[in-house]
Chain A
Amino acid sequence: DAGVTQSPTHLIKTRGQQVTLRCSPISGHKSVSWYQQVLGQGPQFIFQYYEKEERGRGNFPDRFSARQFPNYSSELNVNALLLGDSALYLCASSLGGGTQETQYFGPGTRLLVL
């Protein structure tokens, strides 16, 4: 079975631009979460979606938005990019998004903002 997939793998943008990152969960998983990881730190929670509804949001500005589609894939959008948005963006999927469920991670999208 395919794991969590993310696209693109790498991306270079300039300040002020907008970016869309994509995630396909493991087949059968209905929950997708997004995390941002900057060098030297652990991943930080951005969003969780379950059955197309937002279930949780981390401490990120409104420039960050996401959505989940009927096939449970998800997109993360970041508007008005800042240099500080440069990071690895990880997507994780789980069956139902419960607190005791394992979240399975994709390889991430590395975003560089110049």
Chain B
Amino acid sequence: ILNVEQSPQSLHVQEGDSTNFTCSFPSSNFYALHWYRWETAKSPEALFVMTLNGDEKKKGRISATLNTKEGYSYLYIKGSQPEDSATYLCASSGSARQLTFGSGTQLTVLP
């Protein structure tokens, strides 16, 4: 994998459903994996930074896991609420310090 890829591109779920998205990234020259939540007309909000293989992070109903050997991360949202509707971006950082972003997963939670 040369680029950071996210799937699915968009997702509609019902309120109360749990959901997850995938981020795939190059496993070579890997330093950290970043997740952001971006609501329309707002600043991207940092959710997690993960660095070690097997890392798991949690923030309220949102959690993330990291597999650096195979180059993927999962983001989970438990019991989705309408306020979770946003675009979720992942980004990989390597020795160059820059963030390389995926195109995002646009989540819509229907009431």
Contact = CB atoms under 8 A, between A and B. Distances in A.
Interface of A: 3-4, 33, 35, 40-45, 48, 55-56, 58, 90, 92, 97-108
B32 A99 contact: yes
* Interface SS of chain A: loop
Contacts of A101: 49
A99 B97 contact: yes
Contacts of A48: 97-98
Interface residues of B, number: 26
Given A42-B104, A100-B32, A101-B49, A107 B98 contact: no
A56 B97 contact: yes
A106 B104 CA distance: 18
5 contacts: A42-B4, A55-B97, A99-B94, A103-B99, A104-B46
A111 to B, nearest CB: 16
A43 B32 contact: no
Given A42-B89, A45-B99, A98-B97, A103 B46 contact: yes
B57 to A, nearest CB: 12
Given A41-B103, A42-B104, A99-B31, 7 more contacts: A35-B101, A44-B101, A98-B97, A99-B96, A100-B31, A102-B49, A103-B46
A42 B31 contact: no
B7 to A, nearest CB: 13
A105 B101 CA distance: 13
Nearest to A45: B98
Q: Most chain-B CB neighbours within 10 Å: which of A33, A55, A100? A: A100
